[in-house]
Amino acid sequence: MTAATTGAAAVHPAVTEQQPTTNAKRHWLFVDVLNVIACIAVVCLHTSLGAFHPEQTMLWKRQVAMQSLFIFATPIFFMISGMNLLGYRKKYDTATFFKKRAWRTGRALIVGSVVCYLVFGLFPSSFYGTEAIAADFGIIGFAKHFLTNSINDIYWFFYSILYLYMLTPLLSKCTERKTMRYLIAVTGFVAVILPLFTHLGVPSKYFGQLFGWPLFASVSLLYFALGYYLNNYVIPVVKPHPWMASIAFLLSSAAMFFATLLNNGWRSAAGLSNEYINYWSGTTSPLAVIQTISLFLIFAWLEPRLQHTPASFSKVIRILSSASLGVYLFHILFVNQLIIVPVLPQLPLLRGILYYSITALMIFIIKSFLLLIQRII
DSSP code string of 45-58: HHT-GGGGS--SSH
Tally Cβ neighbours within 10 Å of residue 167: 14
Strand, helix or coil for residue 337: strand
Higher-pLDDT residue of 93, 211? 93
Question: pLDDT per residue over 294-353, tens digit each?
Answer: 999 999 999 999 999 999 999 999 999 999 999 999 999 999 998 887 778 899 999 999
pLDDT surpassing 80 at residue 195:
yes
Cα distance between residue 39 and residue 115, in whole Å: 20
pTM: 0.90
CA atoms 336, 337, 341, 342: torsion sign: negative
pLDDT surpassing 70 at residue 184:
yes
Strand, helix or coil for residue 127: strand
Examine residue 120 and state whether it is found in any structural domain, yes or no.
no
In this predicted structure, what is the pLDDT of residue 270?
Answer: 81
Task: Look over the chain and give the mean of its residue pLDDT values, rounded to a whole number.
Answer: 90
DSSP code string of 179-206: HHHHHHHHHHIIIIIHHHHHHTT--GGG
Q: Say which residues have a Cβ less than 8 Å from residue 274's Cβ, sequence separation at least 6.
A: 54
Cα distance between residue 242 and residue 262, in whole Å: 30
DSSP code string of 204-253: GGGTHHHH--TTTT-HHHHHHHHHHHIIIIITTTS---HHHHHHHHHHHH
pLDDT confidence of 370, banded at 50, 70, 90? confident
In this predicted structure, what is the pLDDT of residue 222?
Answer: 98
- Give alpha helix (H) positions in the chain: 3-6, 29-46, 58-69, 73-85, 94-97, 103-122, 131-135, 139-147, 156-171, 177-188, 194-199, 208-211, 219-229, 242-263, 286-301, 303-307, 311-322, 324-330, 332-335, 348-376
How many distinct structural domains can be found in the chain? 1
Cα distance between residue 287 and residue 216, in whole Å: 19
pLDDT confidence of 282, banded at 50, 70, 90? very high
Q: Say which residues have a Cβ less than 8 Å from residue 121's Cβ, sequence separation at least 6.
A: 130, 133, 134, 137, 141
In this predicted structure, what is the pLDDT of residue 4?
Answer: 36
Q: In this structure, are residues 2 and 304 in contact, taking their beta carbons and an 8 Å threshold? A: yes
Examine residue 360 and state whether it is found in any structural domain, yes or no.
yes
Lowest mean pLDDT among 16-25, 89-98, 332-341, 364-373: 16-25
Examine residue 7 and state whether it is found in any structural domain, yes or no.
yes
Lowest mean pLDDT among 22-26, 165-169, 356-360: 22-26
Q: Say which residues have a Cβ less than 8 Å from residue 7's Cβ, sequence separation at least 6.
A: none
In this predicted structure, what is the pLDDT of residue 353?
Answer: 97
Examine residue 273 and state whether it is found in any structural domain, yes or no.
yes
Examine residue 366 and state whether it is found in any structural domain, yes or no.
yes
pLDDT surpassing 50 at residue 231:
yes
Q: In this structure, are residues 223 and 79 in contact, taking their beta carbons and an 8 Å threshold? A: yes
Share of the chain above pLDDT 70, in %: 93
Q: In this structure, are residues 159 and 149 in contact, taking their beta carbons and an 8 Å threshold? A: yes
In this predicted structure, what is the pLDDT of residue 3?
Answer: 37
Q: What is the mean pLDDT of residues 209-213?
A: 78
In this predicted structure, what is the pLDDT of residue 25?
Answer: 56
pLDDT surpassing 90 at residue 244:
yes
∠ CA 72-30-329, nearest 5°, is 50
pLDDT confidence of 5, banded at 50, 70, 90? very low
In this predicted structure, what is the pLDDT of residue 211?
Answer: 81
Higher-pLDDT residue of 110, 204? 110
In this predicted structure, what is the pLDDT of residue 155?
Answer: 98
- CA Rg value for the chain: 22
Examine residue 161 and state whether it is found in any structural domain, yes or no.
no
Examine residue 96 and state whether it is found in any structural domain, yes or no.
no
Question: pLDDT per residue over 168-182, tens digit each?
Answer: 999 999 999 999 999
Share of the chain above pLDDT 90, in %: 81
Tally Cβ neighbours within 10 Å of residue 3: 17
pLDDT confidence of 105, banded at 50, 70, 90? very high
Examine residue 83 and state whether it is found in any structural domain, yes or no.
yes
Give residue 26's domain range.
3-87+175-376
